[in-house]
A and B are shown apart, each in its own frame.
Chain A
Amino acid sequence: MINLHDLTIKKTHDLLINKEISAFHLTKEFFDYIEQRDKKIDAYLSLLKDDALEQANEIDKKIAAKEEIGMLAGIPIAIKDNILVKNHTCTGGSKILKDYKAAYDATVIKKLKKAGAIILGKTNLDEFAMGSSTETSAFKITKNPLDETCVPGGSSGGSAAAVASHQAIASLGSDTGGSVRQPASFCGLVGLKPTYGAVSRFGLMALASSLDQIGTFTKNVEDASLLLEVISGEDQNDNTSMPFNFKAEETKNLLSLKGIKIGIIKECFDNNLNSEIKSAIDANIKILEDLGAETRIISLPHISASLPCYYILMPAEASANLARYDGLRYASSNIDKNLKELYFAHRGENFGQETRRRIMLGAFVLSSGYYDAYYLKAKKVQQLIKDEFRNAFNECDVLISPTTPSEAFKIGEKTKDPVSMYLSDIFTVPANIAGLPAISLPITRKNALPFGLQLTAKQFDEKTLLAISYLLEKALQR
């Protein structure tokens, strides 16, 4: 009997190459566990059992033949159900795609398969990644494994809950405004959103194309680096992807934080911040200083404009991206009507409340007479925020803030009031607005739910971001 709770990528890799377990046995063990555990958690929407076991067998053959295998070979992982896996249903958490079968693999999936990773299944999410609690999914409500009366966060709540409940070793999510880091904060995991352009978005269902980025959920920082190394890099199918050659090994080179400058974002620590979160982050800042880092207060005067800016740009792009779901191209509609009637009936009936709200909001901010006042204004504010970050990074290597303004909230607590739900992303949205890499590291507490500490770095400086995270994590484990 393997203890699934203890497994990280590195540990599992060692067990596999030392033949202490087989990939097949391990994968089977995971499915047996999912079968009982997920009845309570509802992290998965669908499982890929046959393919996974077959893939695991292949890995075992390689190990038996003494072939060298990569770090991800035989590692069971979960994938958010807005990332395409060829020949499997991909719902995006929406009724409108309940029967859709992916025609191709997303680039990240191709890379994971090539690396030998075992895909266990597809995880629940807010409909088309629109939400912060996974409650807008058309199919089920995922529970936070640390307190089943609470949400796991969102929109990648299924991916976070799967790892936090040990139903996968690691998982992929997508992060448009915090959808990886916020659930990582709520579930006590490491959540990484890479730089915009570091990971190909090909095969990720588009929410807001200029902000979306695929990210990772892992139990520690090293695993995040290992996954990033495999999934990142330029891709000819995504013109916004950039040449980015990340090596996980390099993030372990730092021995101390001497010479590292860490900026504490002044605006994130005002009087409204929960005092427990504030003191926990202060304690971590102290640890970073003890490791040799120099810290200073940095002001980003307009960082609080990021969230209102986001609620113009994101719906504007979403309303265009979701125009493709017309009831004809992705099957399922059975309505005997003329074309226009079919559009109205199919979309009206199958899109959920939040999705319809954002489509209409997008149509509003883009409509004639309002474009300058909303969309253009937001693009200018975005530029201003980018400039403020650029200036901040002239003075420091990374910035520190909380990931979320609170720990996980109760299921149903924020569904009635959209703005209160949106506010749970207040600290995560700026990194998307500026296209920066950011990571949420877990701060665990006795007898209370965890929350996250967020570090943000310059574009494509994941190396520094993860190196600092790695040292901080090691110091916390001591």
Chain B
Amino acid sequence: MVEKTINKKVVENLAELSRLDIKESEKDKIAEDLNSILNYIKELEKVPTQGIDLNFIKKTGKEFRRDIPTEEKVSEKDQLIESFKDRKDDFLKIPPVFQ
């Protein structure tokens, strides 16, 4: 496998990708935990996987259901919207992306 150590910088990058605020004091411990997990996962390297083809699609014979609103679904939708923090009509209202 490729590079296997997660340092503080990698932790910072992963936190950025994951949209997580993490405290400076937590970073070393997070790196240590992730490294011990990666070290365990590394066992997969030993498993031979040449010739295993994942590029096939299994036919289940299933189709997508038709997207038709039912009375029940409409009332559920309204209730889902109710749980929005803030809204304008049926839309989720969010803080500005750019300021």
Tally of chain A residues near chain B (CB < 8 A):
63
Kindly specify which of A17-25, A142-150, A323-331 makes contact with the partner chain: A323-331
Give residues 408-430 of A contacting B (CB, 8 Å).
417-419, 422
- On whether the beta carbons of A239 and B52 are closer than 8 Å, the reply is no
B81 to chain A, nearest CB (A): 9
Q: Does A245 contact B (CB under 8 A)?
A: no
Report B73-99 residues with CB < 8 Å from chain A CB: 76, 79-80, 82-86, 92, 94-99
Report the Cα distance A345→B10, complex, angstroms.
20
By the criterion CB–CB under 8 Å, are A100 and B83 in contact?
yes
Whether B33 lies near A374 (C-beta < 8 A) is: no
Stretch at the interface among A262-270, A280-288, A377-385: A377-385
The answer to whether the Cβ of B41 comes within 8 Å of any Cβ in the partner chain is yes
Interchain CB contact (< 8 A) of B14 among A237, A345, A360, A418? A360
* CB closest chain-B residue, reference A370: B2
Complex Cα–Cα for A307 and B42 (A): 11
| B residues less than 8 Å from A383 (CB atoms) | 52, 54
B62 at the interface (CB under 8 A from A): yes
Minimum CB distance partner of B87 in chain A: A328
Contacts of A349 in B (CB 8 A): 21
Whether A369 is near chain B, meaning CB under 8 Å from some CB there, is yes
Give the residue of B18, B33, B64 whose beta carbon is less than 8 angstroms from that of A363.
B18
Pair B33/A418 contact, Cβ less than 8 Å:
yes
Contact: A356 with B22, CB < 8 Å?
yes
A311 touches B40 (CB 8 A): yes
> Count of B residues near A, CB < 8 Å?
48
How far is the CB of A204 from the nearest CB of chain B, in Å? Answer: 16
Residues of chain A within 8 A (CB-CB) of B10 are 364
CA distance A304 to B40 in the complex (A): 12
Neighbouring A residues of B9 by C-beta, 8 Å: none
Neighbour of B85 across the interface among A328, A340, A345, CB < 8 A: A328
- Residues on A with C-beta less than 8 A from B98 are 338
Tell me if A120 counts as interface (CB < 8 A to partner B).
no
Q: Taking the nearest CB of chain B, how far is it from the CB of A100, in angstroms?
A: 7
Interface of A is mostly: helix
A380 touches B52 (CB 8 A): yes
Contacts A328-B92, A329-B83, A333-B85 hold; do A360 and B62 have CB atoms under 8 A apart?
no
Known: A339-B97, A377-B44. A239 touches B14 (CB 8 A): no
With both beta carbons as reference points, the residue of chain A lying nearest to B10 in the complex is identified as A364
Q: Is A103 an interface residue (CB 8 A)?
A: yes
- Work out how many contacts link A and B, with CB atoms closer than 8 A: 142
Query: Measured between C-beta atoms, what is the minimum distance from A436 to chain B in Å?
Result: 16
From A339, A357, A359, give the contact of B95 (CB < 8 A): A339
The B1-42 residues at the A interface (CB cut-off 8 A) are 1-2, 6, 10-11, 14-15, 17-22, 30, 33-34, 36-38, 40-42
Residues of B close to A70: CB separation below 8 A:
none
Contact across chains for A384 and B52 when beta carbons are under 8 A apart: yes
B76 to chain A, nearest CB (A): 4
User: Is A360's CB under 8 angstroms from B18's CB?
Assistant: yes
Chain A residues in 8 Å Cβ range of B86: 328
- Map CB proximity to B onto A294-338 as digits: 1 under 8 Å, 0 otherwise: 000000001011011101100000010001001111111100111
Task: Verify A308–B1 contact, CB threshold 8 A.
Answer: no
Please, what's the 1-or-0 string for B36-74, where 1 marks a CB less than 8 Å from any CB in chain A? 111011111101010010100000101011000000000
Question: Which interface residue of A302, A380, A381 has the most chain B CB atoms within 10 A?
Answer: A380
**Docked-complex contact A419 and B34, CB < 8 angstroms:** no
Indicate if the CB atoms of B54 and A361 lie closer than 8 Å: no
- Nearest residue (CB) in B for A100 is B83
Contact B43 A344 (CB under 8 A): no
Q: A356–B14 Cα gap in the complex (Å)?
A: 10
Q: B18's contact among A302, A305, A359, A418, by CB below 8 Å, is which?
A: A359
Task: Find out whether the CB atom of B84 lies under 8 angstroms from the CB atom of A419.
Answer: no
A348 & B37 in contact (Cβ 8 Å cutoff): no
Q: How far is the CA of A246 from the CA of B53 in the complex (A)?
A: 33
B29 to chain A, nearest CB (A): 9
Complex CA gap A96/B52 in Å reads 40
If A328-B85, A374-B41, A418-B37 touch, whether A344 touches B95 (CB-CB below 8 Å) is no
Given contacts A338-B99, A379-B54, A418-B36, contact A345 B21 (CB under 8 A): yes
Interface centre among A308, A312, A417 (most CB of B within 10 A): A308
Q: A329-B84, A359-B20, A360-B20 are in contact. Are A339 and B47 (CB under 8 A)?
A: no
Shortest Cβ distance from A324 into chain B, in angstroms? 12
Are B44 and A312 in touch, CB under 8 angstroms? Answer: yes
Task: Give me 4 other A-B pairs in contact (C-beta within 8 A), A312-B41, A364-B38, A383-B54 excluded.
Answer: A337-B95, A348-B15, A360-B14, A367-B17
22 A-B pairs with CB atoms under 8 Å apart are: A309-B44, A311-B37, A319-B18, A327-B85, A329-B83, A331-B83, A332-B85, A338-B96, A338-B98, A344-B21, A345-B21, A347-B19, A348-B15, A356-B18, A363-B14, A364-B10, A364-B38, A367-B14, A373-B1, A374-B41, A381-B49, A419-B40
Chain B residues engaging chain A, CB cutoff 8 angstroms:
1-2, 6, 10-11, 14-15, 17-22, 30, 33-34, 36-38, 40-45, 47, 49, 52, 54, 60, 62, 64-65, 76, 79-80, 82-86, 92, 94-99
